[in-house]
Structure 1
Amino acid sequence: MNRFEGKVVIVTGAGSGIGAGTARRFLQEGASVALNGRREHKLRETLEGFDQAKTLVHAGDVSDEGYVKSLIADTVRRFGKLDVLINNAGIAIFGPFEQTTTQDWRKVLSTDLDSVYFTSREALPHLLKTKGSIVNLSSASGIGGDWGMSSYNAAKGAITNFTRALALEYGSRGVRVNAVAPSLTSTEATGELEKNEAVLSAFRERLPIGRAATPGDIAGVIAFLASDDAVFINGVILPVDGGLGASNGQPNFLNLLGKG
């Protein structure tokens, strides 16, 4: 399946996790891909086994406005156009709100939210020419709150509504803007979390599908939203959460009663 043959895609945060899985998915489907991330060696690991002629490794910090200008300009210079922007770069800092420092708050908001503003602003003139699309990475944490993740919730909640706002403004001009909202996904970032059996057990109890997502699970949905298969989907925040949002939050009474 080569839905993206002849298309040019930028994926931010492509050195690991969902970003790496997404970059590989677009390459598998024929796209030329510019991969952004802070660690060049991780970006090159993502590309192992792929045609280097169809890739651009562009290491840098997308919370830096000047860097983002160069990322977009260099991609268009290399490939001649831009069809798809995937805003994946993000971090989370855990802890009670009263322990959240100004530095921590600004670090999360700049990496997770400012980057989406900068990349979208710089990419849209090119996407208007190609009638392209943007897919943002929101989160289940951008739809509901979490314990000890106030800055991450704030950033992802803003991305959720920013996605809708851009979809309203640009849909009639030929650019679709959507977002995915994953729940727990197994990546480098969740490695320590997943070592805690009590935490994993609590997640399994709440996830009807019974496991965490893989980066590939999320990448497939991102590729769908960016493709012509989703040509009439605009302004959607699509949960990719294993059924987490289907629950009203009550415990599994069948399991508690020994009837599950």
Structure 2
Amino acid sequence: MMLRKKTPIVLTVDEYETIRLLDKKGYSQEQCAESMQIARTTVQRIYEIARKKIADALIDGHPLKIEGGDFRICDGQSNDCSFGGCYKQEIYQKYAVEKGEGIMRIAVTYENGQIFQHFGHTETFKIYDVEEGKVVHSEVVDTNGSGHGALAGVLNALNADVLICGGIGGGAQTALAAAGIKLFGGVSGDADKAVEVFINDTLDYNPDVKCSHHEHNHGEGHTCGEHGCGSHSCH
């Protein structure tokens, strides 16, 4: 007899954040409201909904998914945040480089000149600034030990427009999409060469890429130019 799969319960990102701040970090409702830049009464409402969803998932055995909701990812540049010293602020303060108009910033998961194949374990990104089809600046950036979804915050703090990488999990893909960072995954080989062919609209990538550490189902490769995803449309 096959067991029937239960419908997943969806916990939105803002609901997850109230649980993280109140239950994990031990914030008061006032601190949580200030951190999320919402009213305390809104925190109370979101928190009650989140706790009920988690209780339903635990007691009734439903899978729990975290996705969607009303949120934006902090890029570390806001003066409104009263909880300073986060890794995004450190990254921004260390690597902040103004992006002029017409500059596209490409990030590549990087190790010894090659594209590192597991996004969640990336220790360094190589950042390329592209203007009028040419790389005008590049540098290697340490991720400060961040992992998986948190790396999307690092890329957001660095004002990246595009990520080129190998394998990447679904949660990180969601975080990148929320940050407005275009993903070109399933790429391997020399990092500099990958950026060069990306600029020329000929990058082979996999639009259905998964992290091979978690899943081994890979779709067919695609060429960047086939989807009109070259240097101009990726700004």
TM > 0.5 fold call: no
Relative to its length, the structure with more helix (as a share) is 1
Which one has more relative contact order, counting CA pairs under 8 Å at least 6 apart? 1
Query: What TM-score does the superposition give when structure 2 sets the normalisation length?
Result: 0.29
Relative to its length, the structure with more strand (as a share) is 2
